[in-house]
Structures are given as structure tokens and as C-alpha cells.
Chain A
Amino acid sequence: GAVVSQHPSRVICKSGTSVKIECRSLDFQATTMFWYRQFPKQSLMLMATSNEGSKATYEQGVEKDKFLINHASLTLSTLTVTSAHPEDSSFYICSTRGTGFSYEQYFGPGTRLTVT
């Protein structure tokens, strides 16, 4: 399967600051990447689909001006949480979709964001 990395793995920031999370596809070119958020003891919530070279598609209820997504190359997508607040504290996970028949998604290791 595909290898996906995320950086940083953990970040603590103060309320009102912005945080950038990087997602890299290490061994294949990902035209599509997905950004998820997961609160404790809850399932994955898709935030947006990131398409290389075009604007991301955001899910209903996700503020596109607060969660900025840039997918400038086939191996890198970034999620910037702007003006972070404590309620944005969560586990953020990116994934890439395989190009095979099964369309399985391969996940990065996740980023634990804590906003104080």
C-alpha cells in the first residue's frame, strides 16, 4: 500500500494562532487526498477532499476560510487551521486514495492538535 506521512505528529498552540499540517504521499502521486478530523471515542469525520491543482471540496459544516487546504503538488497537501480555538483541538488525519480497483484509502499517522 501507499506510504503517507504527516508533520507534525503533535502540536500545541495558543488560541488565536494558526497551525499548518503537512501530508505527504511518499511513494506515489496522489491526485486526491482527504482530510479527516476525529474527536475522542468518535469515528472519522471527513472535512474536505483535496484535489491537486484545484480548490478543495469541503463537507457541509466545515468552514473553508478556517481550514485552508492547499494541494500544490502530487505529493503534498497542507491543512492550515487559522485562528485556532480550543474546540479545534482534535486528531487530524490525512489519507490518499489508491488508484487500484478497490479505492482503498491509506492514512497518514495523524496529527494531534491541542489549542490552549
Chain B
Amino acid sequence: GQNIDQPTEMTATEGAIVQINCTYQTSGFNGLFWYQQHAGEAPTFLSYNVLDGLEEKGRFSSFLSRSKGYSYLLLKELQMKDSASYLCAAMDSNYQLIWGAGTKLIIKP
């Protein structure tokens, strides 16, 4: 079956760095997405990886290893506004997104 695993909750300190991991198993693979979702709001697109390696975009970076079925989202210089849920989603061979349950990130001062 198809499956996405990510931690339920993580806590980090303002100004620090945090890495949110995601492992996936899908029927075929057409890329890995990360979305940010604040409570009560819709998800917003953060990143897309389809090739192995690290994609950097400001304070946020996303990494993909296709051979390991693994991705991570790296958040640097954490700010209080980064407190949110981070959703990992893999696109299967039918271009359907398979969603993880999300990782709730709590930032402490």
C-alpha cells in the first residue's frame, strides 16, 4: 500500500534549526511536496523535490533521497511564526498526492 510517515509533533527553540523527516512508500513516484499549514487555515506550498539532493529556499530547505524513500524539511533561524503543521506529500504514478498526517511544530521562546 501507499504510506507516508512523519513525526506527530516536534518542539524547537526560537532561532534554532529543526529538521522534520518524512518517509514514503508509493506506487511510482513523481515528486515530494512540503506544505505549511497554520491552525484553521489552508496549506501553503513550501517546496517540491523530484531529483535527489537539497533544494534551498531562504530559511527553508528540502532534501530528497529517492533510493531511500526519504525526505526532510530543514528550517533555520526559527521564528515564532513558524509554529504550524508541516505536511509531507508524495505524488504517485497517477499524479495523485498521498498525504502524511502532518508534523506539528511548536516553537518556544
User: Do A102 and B42 have beta carbons less than 8 Å apart?
Assistant: no
Q: Which residues of B contact A93 (CB under 8 A)?
A: 42-43
User: Do A104 and B42 have beta carbons less than 8 Å apart?
Assistant: no
Contacts A43-B100, A43-B102, A109-B42 known; list 19 others, CB within 8 Å.
A1-B45, A43-B87, A44-B43, A44-B99, A45-B99, A46-B96, A46-B97, A93-B42, A102-B31, A104-B33, A105-B33, A105-B97, A106-B45, A107-B42, A107-B43, A110-B40, A110-B41, A110-B42, A112-B40
* Secondary structure of the A contact surface, majority rule: loop
User: Do A105 and B87 have beta carbons less than 8 Å apart?
Assistant: no
Q: Which residues of B contact A42 (CB under 8 A)?
A: 101
Instruction: Kindly state the separation between the CA atoms of A105 and B50 in the bound complex, as whole angstroms.
Output: 15
Q: Which residues of B contact A1 (CB under 8 A)?
A: 45
Cross-chain pair count, CB within 8 angstroms: 41
Instruction: Kindly state the separation between the CA atoms of A69 and B13 in the bound complex, as whole angstroms.
Output: 44
Is B48 an interface residue, CB under 8 A from the partner? yes
User: Do A103 and B99 have beta carbons less than 8 Å apart?
Assistant: no
Which residues of A16-69 have CB atoms within 8 Å of chain B's CB atoms?
42-46
Q: How far is the CB of B45 from chain A (nearest CB, A)?
A: 5
Q: Which residues of A contact B50 (CB under 8 A)?
A: 102
Q: How far is the CB of B54 from chain A (nearest CB, A)?
A: 16
Which residues of B87-109 have CB atoms within 8 Å of chain A's CB atoms?
87, 91, 95-97, 99-102
The contact sample of 27 A-B pairs, CB cut-off 8 A, is: A42-B101, A43-B99, A43-B100, A43-B101, A43-B102, A44-B43, A44-B87, A44-B99, A46-B96, A46-B99, A93-B43, A102-B31, A102-B48, A102-B50, A103-B30, A103-B91, A103-B95, A104-B48, A105-B33, A105-B97, A107-B42, A107-B43, A107-B44, A109-B41, A110-B40, A110-B42, A112-B40
Q: Which residues of A contact B33 (CB under 8 A)?
A: 104-105
Q: How far is the CB of B99 from chain A (nearest CB, A)?
A: 5
- What 0/1 readout, one digit per residue, does chain B (22-51) give for beta carbons within 8 Å of chain A? 000000001101000000111111001010
